[in-house]
Amino acid sequence: MKVLVTGANGQLGQCLQELAPQFQNLEFTFCSSHELDITQQSQIEDKFSELRPDFCINAAAYTAVDKAESESDRAFLINETAVGYLALACKKYNTSLIHVSTDFVFDGTKNTPYQETDAVNPLGVYGQSKLAGEQRIQEILESFYIVRTSWVYSDYGHNFKKTMLRLGKERGAVSVVNDQRGCPTHAIDLAQALLAIVNAKNHKAVPYGIYHFCGNNEMTWYSFAIQIFEEAELKVAVTPIPTSDFPTPAKRPAYSVLDRSKWDQTF
């Protein structure tokens, strides 16, 4: 089967490239934003016409949560309009779309893990643009996989783990928010999950729709930072602080733990 991966240079894209050699039955084409600009519908058409992929994993996204507040046009262009272009191409070429979304589609007012059927209510532009992308897919396609995830980290790109390790080494002490709860997700685990969809032996038995996939451990950013330093064997003083002490342009959900039981039962 042919698998087209967008956003190949992002942390998820690089993890997918790392895993690709393990899947000899799959023929991958990895495209960075320079090789395939998904905001250009003509480039998508050319690529799909050339490859005629069986699957398209969309790992391309605008993910700068705070910057999105002042770059809403750019965020919606990449996270909604471009996603619509991909969905139209998938419909035309009978390609199964696997799209990655986010816990930020929720407002964080629950205190139990969010299920796929829970009401969405994003707090900021990033979440709004990602939700709009989900909605575009559902308007265009009857068959799709939308995988919502949370707190993604890896050894690639920009993420909380790498930021903590850098600050810990530079300063020896950090202050970290302790009143936002979520589930850190290693990008390698997320990549394996997406490839499990592609590699399912009988896709008729794997229902299309929205799935939640995240790490199994619920924690705060503060407790996550402590774990990061412990595993790196770094002695860093970590001080817990409330969100109010660390104001950001974008408001974040206080609780964004995802319930992944539907995923576990299916895969």
Residue 62, CA distances (Å) to 28, 33, 76, 191 in order: 23, 11, 8, 18
What is the distance between the alpha carbons of residues 40 and 30, in angstroms, rounded to a whole number? 17
What is the distance between the alpha carbons of residues 12 and 37, in angstroms, rounded to a whole number? 17
3-state secondary structure of 220: strand
Q: Is residue 153 annotated as a catalytic residue, yes or no?
A: no
DSSP letter assigned to residue 147:
E
What is the distance between the alpha carbons of residues 93 and 49, in angstroms, rounded to a whole number? 8
Sign of the dihedral through C-alpha 223, 112, 262, 138: negative
Contact 246, 202 (CB under 8 A): no
What is the distance between the alpha carbons of residues 88 and 93, in angstroms, rounded to a whole number? 9
Helices (H), the chain: 11-19, 41-51, 72-76, 82-92, 125-140, 160-171, 187-198, 221-231, 261-266
Residue 257, CA distances (Å) to 5, 55, 104 in order: 27, 28, 10
Q: Annotated catalytic residue: which of 126, 156, 211, 222?
A: 126
What residues are labeled active site?
A: 126
